[in-house]
Amino acid sequence: MRRILNVAVANSWIVRNPFQQGEPLIKPGEETPRERIISREEEFRLLAACHGERKHLRAILICAIDTGMRRGEIFSLTWSDVDFDSRLITIRAFNTKTMRERQIGMTERLRAELMRLSETQDGELVFGIKTHAQHSFQKAKKEAGLPDVRFHDLRHTPCYPIGRCSDASC
């Protein structure tokens, strides 16, 4: 909201930003920073909870963990964005927070999951859903015993850049 109002002021659409007068509602010094990184064992438990009606969640979680992509980027991913030969995923600019296109490498584990999906999935969207899988994620993390994990936390636990994986599945 702050950004929208600052752009409006810069373009003379409004005279001033009402949030710039008085004390801010949220002071950065009073915020509690939170960065939760899931362990390898927690990752296994979470993925093991992706069965039955939640089996569609497994590939989504692997994508989040192995690439560090944001939730919106994951759910807007189309098959034309996935290049199996070069092992790259292209995230189009209008699907990113920064409005900049970028490419991300696929781990072997993610590539295998996406290949499996490509054989069974109909439609343009890679994961076949447009919004989110919040209900399934809540059930999976409850079964895995991880009540404090948020979907965004998976973004902070990427697989390949920090060498968490020592086996061939990644």
CB atoms within 10 A of CB 163: 8
> Residue 130's domain spans which residues?
40-155
Q: Residue 166 — pLDDT band, cuts 50, 70, 90?
A: very low
- pLDDT tens-digit series, residues 51-72: 999 998 999 999 999 998 999 9
CA-CA distances (angstroms) from residue 110 to 46, 61, 66? 16, 10, 7
Domain membership of residue 58 (yes or no) is: yes
Residue 36 CA to residue 138 CA, distance in Å, equals: 16
Domain membership of residue 46 (yes or no) is: yes
Among residues 86, 40, 67, 85, the alpha carbon closest in space to that of 77 is found at 67
Domain membership of residue 69 (yes or no) is: yes
Q: Quick check: 81 and 72 in contact, CB under 8 A? A: no
Residue 5 is predicted with a pLDDT of: 86
Residue 150 CA to residue 63 CA, distance in Å, equals: 15
Give the highest mean pLDDT range of 15-19, 79-83, 119-123, 163-167. 79-83
Domain membership of residue 115 (yes or no) is: yes
Which CATH number characterizes residue 63's domain? Answer: 1.10.443.10
Who's near 60: CB < 8 A, 6+ residues apart? 74, 127, 133
pLDDT at 24 > cutoff 90: no
- pLDDT tens-digit series, residues 110-156: 999 999 999 987 789 999 886 678 899 999 999 999 999 999 999 88
Q: Would you give the DSSP letter of residue 113?
A: H
Count: domains in the chain: 1
Domain membership of residue 8 (yes or no) is: no
